[in-house]
Amino acid sequence: MAGQLKEVRNRIKSVQSTQQITKAMKMVSAAKLRRAQDAITQMRPYSKKLQEMLSNIVSNSDGDMAMPLATDRPVEKVLMIVVTSDRGLAGAFNANIIKLAKLTINQRYPEQYRKGQVAIWGIGKKGYEHFLKNNYRTDATFKDIFLNLTFEHVQRASEAAVKGFLNREYDVVEIVYSQFRNAATQQFTVERFLPIPKVEKKKGDIKADFIFDPSQEELVTELMPKILNTQLYKAVLDSNASEHGARMTAMDKASENANVLLKNLKISYNRARQAAITTELTEIVSGAAALQG
Amino acid sequence: MNLEILTPDKKLYSGEVYGVQMPGISGSFEVLEKHAPLVSALKAGRVKVLKDKNNHVSFFDIQGGFVEVLNNKVTVLVEGAVAVESAS
């Protein structure tokens, strides 16, 4: 009896300490989530203005412009940039992204995959490791971006992708990442990175007599890589925020589950304790009765 | 004239200014009140912001970027910009 009591007590202790950890992780994620969200809000005006500038230039030009980054060509070689996180314990976050990436390969590029023409750049350790283990063509160059999440780092990855596209190493580049909706919801998306969808002239754009320096064409050529940089940066920031959101929810669930477990354990502990007391009492009483008799 | 200096990481400067000097790709230039609409690329160099006529200036080192002037509003988009402590 006493042995069982001790066992239950030990289990209660261990569940309690696990709960402490999950609670702490939840708090940490909440704080990190706020910072990640701030970063997204901070970059929004920049990327918005960049887009505006591009459409201003295009709207104020006559005729079509040659845009090498917006040219479709037959798809032979594919590059997938898969953004996952560096750490686990975020529920199904990483698993879902990897699943989506595989699904995209199977549905859209099965031919290319069979020929071994699908390359994967894993941003974030988890995804990279998974694809490495499963014999995909991976490249480790950019897996450590989350260690030091700055625009400059992300820029390097996006510039490498642009260069690969221009050198015809890749005919299409897709990003698989998780869009941040709110702390509890992530939307896993596949986004076309290259070639860029053609920029259409819009009716609502400002017609002004702009002075362009250098020419419009050169400006557009300069602007497009910058827009791509911000696009990838946004994807990475979104994934970062999603990761913390996902971890927060996962840890909240874990703490809750620990509570349920603790409640049940306490009931069985008290039951065992009471049983022990009852037996002891019976022994004493029957012992006394035997003496009297 | 309203000036905004934006980077991907944050808004670096925002407010009313007298003028701003920038390293254009084909040479340095200055934008003052009521400048004509302009879109230009910038190269690496130093942006000089003139807060008023009395030589209240601040500097930013940039790696390159773009500037748009429209309706008395100047928007500078730069990557890798840092504020420089003025030497004066």
> In tens digits, what is the pLDDT along chain B, a chain of 88 residues?
999 999 888 888 899 999 999 999 888 999 998 899 998 999 999 999 998 888 788 899 998 889 999 889 999 999 878 888 755 4
Q: Which domain holds residue B43?
A: 2-84
Query: Does the distance separating the beta carbons of A151 and B26 come in below 8 Å?
Result: no
The CB density around residue B49, as the number of other CB atoms within 10 Å, is 22
Nearest-Cα residue of chain B relative to residue A211: B38
Asked if B77 lies within 8 A of A53 by C-beta distance, the reply is yes
Specify the domain boundaries for CATH 3.40.1380.10 within chain A.
Answer: 28-250
Task: Supply the pTM of this predicted model.
Answer: 0.83
The shortest C-alpha distance from A151 to chain B (Å) reads 7
Chain A residues close to B63, C-beta within 8 Å: none
Is residue A43 a contact partner of residue A233, using CB atoms and an 8 Å limit?
yes
In CATH, what number does A28-250 get? 3.40.1380.10
Contact B25, B39 (CB under 8 A): no
DSSP secondary structure string for all residues of A255-273: HHHHHHHHHHHHHHHHHHH
Measured between CB atoms, does B38 come within 8 Å of chain A? Answer: yes
Which residues in A183-222 belong to E strands, given as ranges?
Answer: 185-194, 211-213
- The complex scores an ipTM of 0.84
Of A39, A43, A8, A6, whose CA–CA distance to A230 is shortest?
A43
- Which of A56, A211, A214 is opposite residue B41, by nearest beta carbon? A214
CATH number at residue B14: 2.60.15.10
Say how many domains are in chain B. Answer: 1
Are A226 and B9 inside 8 Å of each other by CB? no
CB contact under 8 A, A209 and B36: yes
Q: Is B87 on the interface with A (CB under 8 A)?
A: no
For A23-55, write each residue's pLDDT tens digit: 999 999 999 999 999 999 888 888 888 888 888
